[in-house]
Structure 1
Amino acid sequence: MAIRREKPQSFRGSPVLVAIVVGILLGCVFALLYPRGFFSSDPANATTRRTAKSDRQAASSCESPDRVRMLKSDIVSLTESNALLKKQARELNEKLQMAEQEKDHAQKQVLLLGKQQKAGPFGTVKSLRTNLAVLPDESVNPRLSKLLKEIAVQNEVIVALANSNVKEMLEVWFTNIKRVGIPNYLVVALDDHIVDFCKSNGVPVYKRDPDEGVDSIARTGGNHAVSGLKFRVLREFLQLGYSVLLSDIDIVFLQNPFHHLYRDSDVESMTDGHDNRTAYGFNDVFDEPAMGWARYAHTMRIWVYNSGFFYMRPTLPAIELLDRVAGRLSREPNSWDQAVFNEELHFPSHPGYDGLHAARRTMDYYLFMNSKVLFKTVRKDAKLKQLKPVIVHLNYHPDKFPRMKAVVEYYVNGKQDALEPFPDGSDW
């Protein structure tokens, strides 16, 4: 039997092995030929990209001046807008202040002076007594404003109204003001003769613009007519931001009154009272027997403030007082200005009437002395005769001019019997 020899078999999978070997060899060849990688760009391409980038940067640098100009324009626009906003803020602030002035006094104090506070321990609580001054408004009367800037001292001035009917007393009035050395005073002349008289004596004088129907009465009228006009005149002084010490002409100045004011109230006035009770108030008991057990009714009384000598600060309550008095006097021509002045100042709010919310102070009646105190009490008391008042107001007596001269003789010239010829009261 013949034996069949088989052909030896080739190594299975040799094509795979060959492929692996070939791949490795190719990898080595490429590694040698392209050490920086087969897919890396050539230097020419890199140079092209760098050139393109430089071109873009150059283009950007060319655009920067335009961009800067645009930014500067934006800054200018924003600056102008900011200035406009600041101006509007100031205007709104002014309007807010004006609005606050029209609010109730207590609320205004809370808004402007601080936050609401808790009450302190017993006996330590003190409420606010001084109202805020108004914002000065020079547009009210530029001519008067210019004059007051020249003569006022710390925004305060003595003001008196005068016509030719009181020329003799006016001379005594300003002569003693000059002697005391008071620089801040002004005569409001109601006719041309007083203007000339004041100028010839070196007295600061101001004549109002004509106001027919009002000034015409004062030019020829007596004390009451002039007294009624003063409430209208004083309003402009307060609106301009000045505190005013109103003085009638029948007053002798012996000291500077500005050294003796408290300035803690809207109105600080001399009194027609003649002792502590009448000047500063007292409890007066009214007896009505028909009421039996309730026959005694307690009342509070105070003698009136004198409307011929008072100090006013430029506050809303003070201006409102002037408006109220001037308004009533125009509607009630037969009313006495001093009575109206006190009613509007003191009457409280009640059904159908809103009272004036004004702070008030009564002046020391020995320093700011009325003629009743002088002739009825002081001249008869050895100790009181040694006092030197700030002013003496001859309000209780019709023979004003001779008594004014006697006051000067007594207090200025030292004539001890100068007051003796006059009775306590008047002969009429």
Structure 2
Amino acid sequence: MAIAMAGRRERTKQLLRSRIATAILVGILFGCICAVLFPNGFYNSGSSSTPNTNSTSKVGSASCESSERVKMMKYNFALISETNAQLKKQVRELTEKVRLAEQSTENARKQVSVLGTEIKAGPFGTVKSLRTNPTVVPDESVNPRLAKLLERVSINKEIIVVLANSNVKPTLELQIASVKRVNIQNYLVVGLDDSMESFCESNGVAYYKRDPDKTVDKVGETGGNHAVSGLKFRVLREFLQLGYSVLLSDVDILFLQNPFLGHLYRDSDVESMSDGHDNQTTYGFNDVSDDPTMGWARYAHTMRIWVFNSGFFYLRPTLPSIELLDRVSDTLSNSEAWDQAVFNEELFFPSRPGYIGLHASKRVMDMYEFMNSKVLFKTVRKDQELKKLKPVIVHLNYHPDKVERMQGVVEFYENGKVDALDSFPDGSE
């Protein structure tokens, strides 16, 4: 496996070198064309000491020729600029592919090292446990129709998935516009009712309608936000079984950058944004409980962290990720529990007598890159330095007036209107 990954890495590097060589040849070719068209250079000032004795007709002819040359230069400049932008984009994409190949190779090496032979612990400070679980073997027989669609829409076996019905069209329309602004191609809407197909076609985004499922269809067509939110754990299972990494997104989220380009770590089974609003609540803190009746032992230390947000998370196609989906789906199908609460309980509750906890690795996302609306409206918009940062996404999860605030976020971050967020209250009062 490591040898195969190394070969893939070498092929990727060869492709990158080939693209760079092509760009150099294009530059040389353009230089040769300019040398033929303009043998005396772009500007020919002539002799400044010789008086002008040419006729008026010759002056007019020279003026026209100069104007044509300027037009040609402008056209060539625009052509070069467009080619340069395309090459830069290709280089960025290839660089990301090389980085992913190197990361996969390193993960494979660690897996072989840990699982392949018995090992001894090294010197102090050198021991590192296996952090990244191997991915499952893709099984296209699970859903051949979806497999064919994902092969066409995904990039690097990664896909953004959004579940939606007709109740959320206004927010989904704003999200789709944001996806197009930052040129995200691997974006897929899973429609939960019949009207979503024509909506997606009119908006030019990839669409998937699941095969009939009485339980899922009934909730998907008539359910509100929380009911629909609970369906995603059942729906996403097939994506993982097919071998694709999924970035699940609720509809009340705006994309301001492409999350796949340098913003995801991909080293854990679950990588999720947080409902936390500062360093402590987002990344964890030691909270001391006080019970005066205990006298000398009145203080007890507790470890706390605010929950992962179940509306925006990245899943690698691993067994722990699939087990997580199964556990949450099973609990939700047999209770009236909130999907976000169950999602976090399965992720964080440890094994205990009568219960085996989920052995899944997890990572919390940077709260200023993957920003919830409490962070934005209570902190960021009031801080002159934080206002300069551009997040990857903004999730309007803390506020009910979603459309208005989403429009304000677009005005602030995309259109440069500095006071676009000022009129909104911190909370929902």
TM-score scaled to structure 1, two decimals? 0.73
Question: What is the aligned partner in structure 1 of residue 35 from structure 2?
Answer: none
The answer to whether the 8 A contact 2:193-2:217 is kept is no
User: Compared with structure 1, are the counterparts of its residues 400 and 289 closer, same or farther at alpha carbon in structure 2 (3 Å cutoff)?
Assistant: same
Question: What is the aligned partner in structure 1 of residue 319 from structure 2?
Answer: 316
Look up the SS of the partner of 1:213 in the other structure: helix
Structure 2 counterparts to residues 96-245 of structure 1, below 5 A? 113-245=115-247
Look up the SS of the partner of 2:268 in the other structure: coil
* Consecutive aligned runs of 4 or more in structure 1 exceeding 6 Å deviation: none
Indicate whether 1:273 and 2:249 are aligned.
no
Q: Distance in 2 between matches of 1:244 and 1:148?
A: 11
2:292 to 289, 293, 305: 289
The answer to whether the 8 A contact 1:155-1:242 is kept is yes
Question: What is the aligned partner in structure 2 of residue 357 from structure 1?
Answer: 359
* 1:179 Cα deviation after fit: 0.8
Matched letter for residue 243 of structure 1: S
Q: Distance in 1 between matches of 2:131 and 2:114?
A: 14
Question: What is the aligned partner in structure 2 of residue 54 from structure 1?
Answer: none
Q: Distance in 2 between matches of 1:315 and 1:217?
A: 28
Q: Distance in 2 between matches of 1:383 and 1:298?
A: 34
Which is worse superposed, 261-270 or 220-229? 220-229
Question: What is the aligned partner in structure 2 of residue 4 from structure 1?
Answer: none
Question: What is the aligned partner in structure 1 of residue 329 from structure 2?
Answer: 326
Structure 2 counterparts to residues 340-419 of structure 1, below 5 A? 340-419=342-421
Q: Distance in 2 between matches of 1:111 and 1:390?
A: 35
Matched letter for residue 173 of structure 1: Q
Matched letter for residue 397 of structure 1: H
The answer to whether the 8 A contact 2:175-2:251 is kept is yes
Indicate whether 1:305 and 2:308 are aligned.
yes
Question: What is the aligned partner in structure 2 of residue 45 from structure 1?
Answer: none
Question: What is the aligned partner in structure 2 of residue 29 from structure 1?
Answer: none
Please give the per-residue CA displacement for 1:234-255, whole angstroms capped at 9, x wherever unaligned. Answer: 0000000000000000000000
Percentage identity across aligned positions? Answer: 74
Look up the SS of the partner of 2:147 in the other structure: helix
Look up the SS of the partner of 1:257 in the other structure: coil
Matched letter for residue 291 of structure 1: M
Matched letter for residue 211 of structure 2: D
Q: Distance in 1 between matches of 2:112 and 2:408?
A: 52
Matched letter for residue 172 of structure 2: L
The answer to whether the 8 A contact 1:110-1:116 is kept is no
Q: Distance in 2 between matches of 1:113 and 1:350?
A: 27
Q: Distance in 2 between matches of 1:194 and 1:401?
A: 19
Structure 2 counterparts to residues 71-110 of structure 1, below 5 A? none
The answer to whether the 8 A contact 1:243-1:312 is kept is yes
Matched letter for residue 317 of structure 1: P
Matched letter for residue 161 of structure 1: L
Please give the per-residue CA displacement for 1:60-106, whole angstroms capped at 9, x wherever unaligned. Answer: xxxxxxxxxxxxxxxxxxxxxxxxxxxxxxxxxxxxxxxxxxxxxxx
The answer to whether the 8 A contact 2:175-2:254 is kept is yes
The answer to whether the 8 A contact 1:287-1:296 is kept is yes
Question: What is the aligned partner in structure 2 of residue 28 from structure 1?
Answer: none
The answer to whether the 8 A contact 2:289-2:300 is kept is yes
Q: Where do 5+ consecutive residues of structure 2 fail to align?
A: 1-109
Q: How many residues align?
A: 319
Matched letter for residue 239 of structure 2: F
* 1:214 Cα deviation after fit: 2.3
Matched letter for residue 190 of structure 2: V
1:262 to 265, 274, 277: 265
The answer to whether the 8 A contact 1:345-1:358 is kept is yes
Q: Distance in 1 between matches of 2:217 and 2:290?
A: 47
Q: Distance in 2 between matches of 1:320 and 1:148?
A: 22
Question: What is the aligned partner in structure 2 of residue 335 from structure 1?
Answer: 337
Q: Where do 5+ consecutive residues of structure 1 fail to align?
A: 1-107
The answer to whether the 8 A contact 1:255-1:389 is kept is yes
Please give the per-residue CA displacement for 1:9-37, whole angstroms capped at 9, x wherever unaligned. Answer: xxxxxxxxxxxxxxxxxxxxxxxxxxxxx
Q: Distance in 2 between matches of 1:116 and 1:422?
A: 60
Question: What is the aligned partner in structure 1 of residue 70 from structure 2?
Answer: none
* 1:113 Cα deviation after fit: 3.5
